[in-house]
Protein backbone atom coordinates (compact mmCIF):
# COMPACT_ATOMS: atom_id res chain seq x y z
CA UNK A 1 0.00 0.00 0.00
CA UNK A 2 1.27 3.47 -0.85
CA UNK A 3 -0.48 6.48 0.59
CA UNK A 4 -1.19 8.96 -2.16
CA UNK A 5 0.69 12.23 -2.29
CA UNK A 6 -1.43 15.35 -2.04
CA UNK A 7 -1.87 17.05 -5.38
CA UNK A 8 -1.78 20.62 -4.04
CA UNK A 9 1.31 20.39 -1.89
CA UNK A 10 4.56 18.48 -1.78
CA UNK A 11 4.87 15.09 -0.04
CA UNK A 12 5.41 15.32 3.70
CA UNK A 13 7.62 12.22 3.92
CA UNK A 14 10.77 12.75 1.90
CA UNK A 15 12.38 9.30 1.93
CA UNK A 16 11.43 5.67 1.51
CA UNK A 17 12.85 4.95 4.97
CA UNK A 18 10.51 7.52 6.52
CA UNK A 19 7.54 6.14 4.59
CA UNK A 20 8.18 2.59 5.79
CA UNK A 21 8.61 3.69 9.41
CA UNK A 22 5.33 5.60 9.32
CA UNK A 23 3.50 2.81 7.50
CA UNK A 24 4.54 0.28 10.15
CA UNK A 25 3.21 2.55 12.89
CA UNK A 26 -0.04 3.25 11.04
CA UNK A 27 -0.58 -0.49 10.59
CA UNK A 28 0.03 -1.04 14.30
CA UNK A 29 -2.49 1.66 15.21
CA UNK A 30 -5.03 0.29 12.72
CA UNK A 31 -4.88 -3.09 14.45
CA UNK A 32 -6.36 -1.60 17.61
CA UNK A 33 -9.25 0.19 15.87
CA UNK A 34 -12.42 -1.88 16.43
CA UNK A 35 -14.09 -3.14 13.26
CA UNK A 36 -17.79 -2.71 12.66
CA UNK A 37 -18.51 -6.19 13.93
CA UNK A 38 -17.07 -5.57 17.38
CA UNK A 39 -17.59 -1.86 18.10
CA UNK A 40 -20.82 -0.45 19.47
CA UNK A 41 -22.96 0.27 16.43
CA UNK A 42 -25.54 2.99 16.04
CA UNK A 43 -27.85 3.69 13.15
CA UNK A 44 -27.46 7.09 11.49
CA UNK A 45 -30.90 8.18 12.72
CA UNK A 46 -29.89 7.91 16.38
CA UNK A 47 -26.35 9.21 16.25
CA UNK A 48 -25.30 11.81 18.83
CA UNK A 49 -25.16 15.46 17.74
CA UNK A 50 -21.36 15.42 17.55
CA UNK A 51 -19.03 12.69 16.35
CA UNK A 52 -15.30 12.99 17.06
CA UNK A 53 -13.04 10.90 14.81
CA UNK A 54 -9.40 10.62 15.85
CA UNK A 55 -6.72 11.42 13.28
CA UNK A 56 -3.13 10.25 13.27
CA UNK A 57 -0.83 13.16 12.56
CA UNK A 58 2.47 12.61 10.74
CA UNK A 59 5.12 15.30 10.47
CA UNK A 60 8.60 15.48 9.01
CA UNK A 61 10.53 18.73 9.26
CA UNK A 62 8.10 21.60 8.58
CA UNK A 63 5.26 19.72 6.88
CA UNK A 64 2.49 17.46 8.19
CA UNK A 65 -0.35 15.18 7.14
CA UNK A 66 -3.24 13.40 8.85
CA UNK A 67 -4.52 9.86 8.47
CA UNK A 68 -7.96 8.47 9.23
CA UNK A 69 -8.71 4.77 9.85
CA UNK A 70 -11.53 3.33 7.74
CA UNK A 71 -13.17 -0.08 8.15
CA UNK A 72 -15.36 -2.03 5.77
CA UNK A 73 -18.73 -3.22 6.98
CA UNK A 74 -18.47 -6.84 8.05
CA UNK A 75 -14.67 -6.81 8.25
CA UNK A 76 -12.78 -8.54 11.03
CA UNK A 77 -11.61 -6.67 14.09
CA UNK A 78 -8.29 -4.93 13.67
CA UNK A 79 -8.54 -4.63 9.89
CA UNK A 80 -9.08 -0.86 9.65
CA UNK A 81 -7.16 0.73 6.78
CA UNK A 82 -5.30 4.04 7.34
CA UNK A 83 -6.12 6.49 4.53
CA UNK A 84 -4.46 9.85 3.92
CA UNK A 85 -6.90 12.69 4.69
CA UNK A 86 -6.67 14.92 1.61
CA UNK A 87 -8.46 18.26 1.31
CA UNK A 88 -6.94 18.63 -2.15
CA UNK A 89 -9.00 15.72 -3.44
CA UNK A 90 -12.66 14.75 -3.17
CA UNK A 91 -12.87 10.95 -3.50
CA UNK A 92 -12.11 7.91 -1.39
CA UNK A 93 -9.63 5.42 -2.83
CA UNK A 94 -9.45 2.11 -0.97
CA UNK A 95 -6.21 0.25 -1.79
CA UNK A 96 -7.46 -3.33 -2.12
CA UNK A 97 -10.63 -4.42 -3.87
CA UNK A 98 -9.60 -7.92 -2.79
CA UNK A 99 -10.48 -6.98 0.82
CA UNK A 100 -14.06 -6.27 -0.24
CA UNK A 101 -14.42 -9.48 -2.23
CA UNK A 102 -13.69 -11.72 0.77
CA UNK A 103 -16.28 -10.06 3.02
CA UNK A 104 -19.12 -12.46 3.85
CA UNK A 105 -21.57 -9.63 3.17
CA UNK A 106 -19.94 -8.41 -0.05
CA UNK A 107 -22.75 -9.50 -2.38
CA UNK A 108 -25.45 -7.89 -0.26
CA UNK A 109 -23.74 -4.68 0.88
CA UNK A 110 -21.42 -3.67 -1.99
CA UNK A 111 -22.12 -3.08 -5.67
CA UNK A 112 -19.56 -2.65 -8.46
CA UNK A 113 -20.71 0.25 -10.66
CA UNK A 114 -17.91 0.23 -13.19
CA UNK A 115 -14.15 0.30 -13.63
CA UNK A 116 -11.40 2.74 -14.47
CA UNK A 117 -8.18 4.26 -13.18
CA UNK A 118 -8.39 6.16 -9.90
CA UNK A 119 -6.89 9.69 -9.78
CA UNK A 120 -3.33 8.47 -9.09
CA UNK A 121 -3.47 5.84 -11.83
CA UNK A 122 -4.14 2.44 -10.21
CA UNK A 123 -6.65 0.23 -12.03
CA UNK A 124 -9.77 0.27 -9.88
CA UNK A 125 -13.41 -0.65 -9.60
CA UNK A 126 -15.95 2.00 -8.73
CA UNK A 127 -17.89 0.57 -5.81
CA UNK A 128 -20.94 1.67 -3.83
CA UNK A 129 -21.36 0.54 -0.25
CA UNK A 130 -20.83 1.33 3.43
CA UNK A 131 -17.68 2.39 5.22
CA UNK A 132 -17.24 2.53 9.00
CA UNK A 133 -15.50 5.22 11.07
CA UNK A 134 -14.86 4.69 14.77
CA UNK A 135 -15.22 7.64 17.13
CA UNK A 136 -12.82 8.48 19.93
CA UNK A 137 -15.32 7.04 22.42
CA UNK A 138 -15.68 3.74 20.59
CA UNK A 139 -18.81 4.15 18.49
CA UNK A 140 -18.77 2.58 15.03
CA UNK A 141 -20.44 5.01 12.65
CA UNK A 142 -21.61 3.45 9.40
CA UNK A 143 -21.77 5.75 6.39
CA UNK A 144 -23.94 4.06 3.80
CA UNK A 145 -24.08 4.44 0.04
CA UNK A 146 -20.53 5.78 -0.38
CA UNK A 147 -19.32 5.66 -3.97
CA UNK A 148 -15.57 5.10 -4.05
CA UNK A 149 -12.63 3.66 -5.95
CA UNK A 150 -11.14 0.31 -4.89
CA UNK A 151 -7.81 -0.57 -6.50
CA UNK A 152 -7.69 -3.91 -8.33
CA UNK A 153 -3.96 -3.92 -9.15
CA UNK A 154 -0.74 -2.03 -8.60
CA UNK A 155 -0.03 1.12 -10.54
CA UNK A 156 1.33 0.04 -13.95
CA UNK A 157 5.09 0.38 -14.10
CA UNK A 158 5.57 0.43 -10.35
CA UNK A 159 7.32 -2.39 -8.54
CA UNK A 160 6.73 -3.75 -5.07
CA UNK A 161 9.25 -2.60 -2.48
CA UNK A 162 9.74 -4.25 0.88
CA UNK A 163 6.84 -6.56 0.06
CA UNK A 164 4.33 -3.72 -0.07
CA UNK A 165 2.02 -3.35 -3.06
CA UNK A 166 1.89 0.01 -4.76
CA UNK A 167 -1.73 0.99 -4.15
CA UNK A 168 -3.33 4.36 -3.46
CA UNK A 169 -4.92 4.92 -0.03
CA UNK A 170 -6.76 8.24 0.01
CA UNK A 171 -9.63 9.86 1.94
CA UNK A 172 -10.66 12.90 -0.07
CA UNK A 173 -12.08 15.62 2.18
CA UNK A 174 -12.68 18.41 -0.34
CA UNK A 175 -16.17 19.70 -1.09
CA UNK A 176 -16.77 20.77 -4.70
CA UNK A 177 -19.41 23.02 -6.21
CA UNK A 178 -20.73 21.09 -8.10
CA UNK A 179 -19.39 17.57 -7.60
CA UNK A 180 -19.14 17.18 -11.37
CA UNK A 181 -16.49 19.93 -11.52
CA UNK A 182 -13.80 17.23 -11.41
CA UNK A 183 -13.41 14.49 -14.02
CA UNK A 184 -12.18 12.19 -11.22
CA UNK A 185 -15.66 12.39 -9.68
CA UNK A 186 -17.43 11.22 -12.83
CA UNK A 187 -15.52 8.25 -14.28
CA UNK A 188 -16.52 7.15 -17.76
CA UNK A 189 -19.32 4.63 -17.90
CA UNK A 190 -20.43 5.19 -14.30
CA UNK A 191 -23.79 6.84 -13.75
CA UNK A 192 -23.09 7.87 -10.14
CA UNK A 193 -21.00 10.95 -9.35
CA UNK A 194 -18.42 10.43 -6.62
CA UNK A 195 -18.34 12.76 -3.60
CA UNK A 196 -16.14 13.07 -0.55
CA UNK A 197 -17.08 10.19 1.78
CA UNK A 198 -18.02 12.64 4.54
CA UNK A 199 -20.83 14.11 2.45
CA UNK A 200 -22.70 10.79 2.44
CA UNK A 201 -23.34 11.08 6.19
CA UNK A 202 -26.24 13.43 5.51
CA UNK A 203 -27.24 13.57 9.19
CA UNK A 204 -23.91 15.28 10.03
CA UNK A 205 -23.05 17.57 7.10
CA UNK A 206 -20.55 19.80 8.94
CA UNK A 207 -16.94 18.58 9.25
CA UNK A 208 -14.26 20.38 11.27
CA UNK A 209 -10.54 19.63 10.99
CA UNK A 210 -8.54 20.59 14.05
CA UNK A 211 -4.94 19.73 14.82
CA UNK A 212 -3.67 19.03 18.32
CA UNK A 213 -0.64 20.49 20.01
CA UNK A 214 1.43 17.35 19.48
CA UNK A 215 1.14 17.72 15.69
CA UNK A 216 4.10 20.07 15.70
CA UNK A 217 6.00 18.84 18.73
CA UNK A 218 9.78 19.08 18.49
CA UNK A 219 11.59 16.05 17.09
CA UNK A 220 15.03 15.67 15.52
CA UNK A 221 15.28 17.09 12.00
CA UNK A 222 14.57 14.43 9.41
CA UNK A 223 12.77 12.15 11.87
CA UNK A 224 9.07 11.44 11.26
CA UNK A 225 6.87 12.34 14.21
CA UNK A 226 3.51 10.68 14.86
CA UNK A 227 0.79 12.31 16.99
CA UNK A 228 -2.65 11.15 18.12
CA UNK A 229 -4.39 14.28 19.40
CA UNK A 230 -5.92 15.69 16.18
CA UNK A 231 -9.60 15.30 15.35
CA UNK A 232 -12.09 15.31 12.52
CA UNK A 233 -15.39 16.27 14.15
CA UNK A 234 -18.74 15.81 12.42
CA UNK A 235 -21.73 17.92 13.50
CA UNK A 236 -25.47 17.59 13.00
CA UNK A 237 -25.81 21.39 13.33
CA UNK A 238 -23.29 23.97 12.20
CA UNK A 239 -20.99 24.77 15.13
CA UNK A 240 -20.87 28.37 16.33
CA UNK A 241 -18.09 30.88 15.84
CA UNK A 242 -17.12 30.19 12.24
CA UNK A 243 -16.87 32.77 9.47
CA UNK A 244 -18.13 30.93 6.38
CA UNK A 245 -17.77 31.61 2.65
CA UNK A 246 -18.95 30.07 -0.61
CA UNK A 247 -16.63 27.63 -2.37
CA UNK A 248 -15.50 28.87 -5.79
CA UNK A 249 -17.72 27.01 -8.29
CA UNK A 250 -16.61 24.84 -11.20
CA UNK A 251 -13.14 24.08 -9.85
CA UNK A 252 -11.74 20.60 -9.23
CA UNK A 253 -10.01 21.93 -6.09
CA UNK A 254 -11.78 23.27 -2.98
CA UNK A 255 -11.03 27.00 -2.91
CA UNK A 256 -12.21 30.43 -1.84
CA UNK A 257 -11.33 33.79 -3.37
CA UNK A 258 -7.91 35.17 -2.46
CA UNK A 259 -8.26 38.89 -1.78
CA UNK A 260 -5.06 40.30 -0.33
CA UNK A 261 -1.72 39.51 1.26
CA UNK A 262 0.31 41.37 3.87
CA UNK A 263 3.93 40.56 4.68
CA UNK A 264 5.61 41.73 7.86
CA UNK A 265 2.74 44.16 8.45
CA UNK A 266 3.05 45.68 4.97
CA UNK A 267 0.10 45.44 2.58
CA UNK A 268 1.22 44.13 -0.84
CA UNK A 269 -0.30 44.75 -4.27
CA UNK A 270 -0.89 41.04 -4.81
CA UNK A 271 -3.10 39.65 -6.34
CA UNK A 272 -3.72 42.82 -8.35
CA UNK A 273 -6.83 43.26 -10.47
CA UNK A 274 -7.13 39.64 -11.64
CA UNK A 275 -9.35 37.20 -9.70
CA UNK A 276 -7.26 34.81 -7.61
CA UNK A 277 -8.17 31.70 -5.66
CA UNK A 278 -7.06 30.30 -2.32
CA UNK A 279 -6.69 26.51 -2.12
CA UNK A 280 -8.00 25.25 1.23
CA UNK A 281 -5.25 22.91 2.34
CA UNK A 282 -5.63 21.26 5.73
CA UNK A 283 -2.14 19.77 5.66
CA UNK A 284 1.29 20.49 4.27
CA UNK A 285 3.60 23.22 5.44
CA UNK A 286 3.96 26.93 4.73
CA UNK A 287 1.67 28.93 2.46
CA UNK A 288 2.69 29.46 -1.17
CA UNK A 289 1.49 31.26 -4.27
CA UNK A 290 1.97 31.96 -7.95
CA UNK A 291 2.77 35.51 -9.02
CA UNK A 292 2.92 35.51 -12.86
CA UNK A 293 2.83 39.33 -13.04
CA UNK A 294 5.74 39.54 -10.56
CA UNK A 295 3.92 41.84 -8.17
CA UNK A 296 5.95 40.24 -5.38
CA UNK A 297 8.85 38.44 -7.01
CA UNK A 298 10.58 41.66 -8.12
CA UNK A 299 10.62 43.02 -4.56
CA UNK A 300 12.89 42.37 -1.60
CA UNK A 301 10.93 41.20 1.43
CA UNK A 302 12.00 40.99 5.07
CA UNK A 303 13.37 37.83 6.65
CA UNK A 304 14.17 36.07 3.40
CA UNK A 305 15.37 32.49 3.84
CA UNK A 306 16.29 29.48 1.73
CA UNK A 307 13.72 27.92 -0.60
CA UNK A 308 12.32 24.50 0.39
CA UNK A 309 13.34 21.46 -1.63
CA UNK A 310 9.95 21.19 -3.32
CA UNK A 311 10.37 24.46 -5.25
CA UNK A 312 12.68 22.70 -7.74
CA UNK A 313 9.89 22.48 -10.33
CA UNK A 314 8.77 26.09 -9.86
CA UNK A 315 10.23 29.35 -11.20
CA UNK A 316 11.65 32.51 -9.58
CA UNK A 317 10.84 31.58 -5.96
CA UNK A 318 11.47 33.63 -2.85
CA UNK A 319 10.82 32.26 0.65
CA UNK A 320 10.40 34.33 3.78
CA UNK A 321 9.90 33.67 7.48
CA UNK A 322 8.14 36.97 8.27
CA UNK A 323 4.63 37.09 9.70
CA UNK A 324 1.90 37.14 7.04
CA UNK A 325 -1.83 37.85 6.77
CA UNK A 326 -3.89 36.23 3.98
CA UNK A 327 -7.38 37.62 3.31
CA UNK A 328 -9.74 35.02 1.81
CA UNK A 329 -13.51 34.88 1.33
CA UNK A 330 -16.22 35.43 -1.26
CA UNK A 331 -18.33 38.29 -2.65
CA UNK A 332 -20.10 38.71 0.69
CA UNK A 333 -17.17 39.00 3.06
CA UNK A 334 -13.71 37.89 4.07
CA UNK A 335 -11.58 36.36 6.82
CA UNK A 336 -7.93 37.12 7.52
CA UNK A 337 -5.68 34.18 8.28
CA UNK A 338 -2.90 35.73 10.33
CA UNK A 339 0.32 33.78 10.81
CA UNK A 340 2.44 35.31 13.58
CA UNK A 341 5.81 33.69 13.01
CA UNK A 342 7.05 34.58 16.49
CA UNK A 343 4.16 32.67 18.08
CA UNK A 344 4.56 29.48 16.05
CA UNK A 345 5.93 26.35 17.72
CA UNK A 346 9.60 25.89 16.92
CA UNK A 347 8.86 22.88 14.69
CA UNK A 348 6.69 25.11 12.45
CA UNK A 349 9.04 28.10 12.36
CA UNK A 350 11.40 29.14 9.61
CA UNK A 351 9.14 29.46 6.56
CA UNK A 352 5.75 31.19 6.38
CA UNK A 353 5.23 31.66 2.64
CA UNK A 354 6.91 30.80 -0.67
CA UNK A 355 6.31 33.27 -3.50
CA UNK A 356 7.04 32.01 -7.02
CA UNK A 357 6.39 33.47 -10.43
CA UNK A 358 4.87 30.07 -11.20
CA UNK A 359 4.45 27.48 -8.44
CA UNK A 360 3.87 24.00 -9.83
CA UNK A 361 1.62 23.02 -6.91
CA UNK A 362 -0.87 25.73 -7.91
CA UNK A 363 -1.75 23.43 -10.84
CA UNK A 364 -1.87 26.28 -13.32
CA UNK A 365 -4.27 28.33 -11.18
CA UNK A 366 -3.63 31.95 -10.23
CA UNK A 367 -3.70 32.29 -6.48
CA UNK A 368 -2.30 30.86 -3.27
CA UNK A 369 -2.43 27.80 -1.05
CA UNK A 370 -3.19 28.77 2.55
CA UNK A 371 -0.90 25.97 3.72
CA UNK A 372 -1.20 23.53 6.57
CA UNK A 373 0.34 26.26 8.69
CA UNK A 374 -3.12 27.93 8.62
CA UNK A 375 -4.66 24.88 10.30
CA UNK A 376 -2.37 25.39 13.30
CA UNK A 377 -4.09 28.67 14.16
CA UNK A 378 -7.60 28.01 12.83
CA UNK A 379 -10.18 25.25 12.97
CA UNK A 380 -11.41 24.67 9.41
CA UNK A 381 -15.08 23.87 8.72
CA UNK A 382 -16.37 22.15 5.56
CA UNK A 383 -20.13 22.63 5.06
CA UNK A 384 -21.39 19.96 2.66
CA UNK A 385 -24.96 21.25 2.49
CA UNK A 386 -24.29 24.85 1.54
CA UNK A 387 -20.91 24.26 -0.18
CA UNK A 388 -19.03 26.60 2.13
CA UNK A 389 -15.75 26.71 4.05
CA UNK A 390 -15.41 28.37 7.44
CA UNK A 391 -12.65 29.45 9.82
CA UNK A 392 -12.58 29.90 13.57
CA UNK A 393 -9.48 31.29 15.19
CA UNK A 394 -7.98 29.08 17.86
CA UNK A 395 -6.51 32.10 19.62
CA UNK A 396 -3.16 30.97 20.94
CA UNK A 397 -1.16 28.73 18.65
CA UNK A 398 -1.64 25.02 19.38
Residue 114 lies in a domain: yes
Last residue of a domain, which of 235, 270, 299? 235
Residue 8 forms part of a structural domain: no
Q: How far apart are the first and last CA of the chain?
A: 32
- Is a pLDDT exceeding 60 seen at residue 397? no
Q: What is the pLDDT of residue 38?
A: 41
Same domain, 87 and 127: yes
Report which DSSP code applies to 268. Answer: P
State whether 29 and 82 are in the same domain.
Answer: yes
Same domain, 176 and 27: yes
Question: Would you state the pLDDT for residue 158?
Answer: 67
Q: Is 347 a domain residue? A: yes
Q: Which of 188, 214, 235 is the last residue of a domain?
A: 235
Q: What is the domain extent for residue 269?
A: 243-393
Helix (H/G/I), strand (E/B), else coil: 100: helix
Contact 95, 167 (CB under 8 A): yes
pLDDT in the model for residue 161: 52
pLDDT at 132: 96
Per-residue confidence (pLDDT) for residue 33, from 0 to 100: 67
Say whether the peptide bond before residue 275 is cis (omega within 30 degrees of 0).
no
Domain count, the chain: 2
Q: What is the pLDDT of residues 116-133, one digit of tens each?
A: 999 999 999 999 999 999
**Strand locations in 219-347, DSSP E?**
225-235, 243-246, 255-263, 266-267, 276-279, 287-290, 304-305, 315-320, 324-330, 333-339
Give the CA angle between residues 358, 361, 366 to the nearest 5°.
Answer: 50
- Mean of pLDDT over the chain: 89
Per-residue confidence at 201, pLDDT binned at 50, 70, 90? very high
- Residue 220 neighbours by CB distance under 10 Å: 6
Among 74-83, 146-155, 355-364, the least confident range: 74-83
Domain final residue pick, 194, 212, 235: 235
pLDDT of residue 396: 47
Lowest mean pLDDT among 182-196, 219-233, 365-379: 219-233
Amino acid sequence: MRHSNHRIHAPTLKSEQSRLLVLDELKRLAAVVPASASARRLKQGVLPLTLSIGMTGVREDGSFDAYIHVSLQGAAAGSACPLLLDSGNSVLVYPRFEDLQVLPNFATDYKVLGAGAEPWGCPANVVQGPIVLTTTDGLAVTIGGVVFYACTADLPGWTADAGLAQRTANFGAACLNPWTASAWNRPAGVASVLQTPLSYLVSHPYAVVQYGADTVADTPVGTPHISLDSTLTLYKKRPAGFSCFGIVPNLEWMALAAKSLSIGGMHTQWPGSKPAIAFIDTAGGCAFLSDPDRLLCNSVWPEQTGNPWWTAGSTSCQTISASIAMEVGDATGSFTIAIDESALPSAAKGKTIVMCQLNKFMRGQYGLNIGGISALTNAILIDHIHKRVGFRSLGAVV
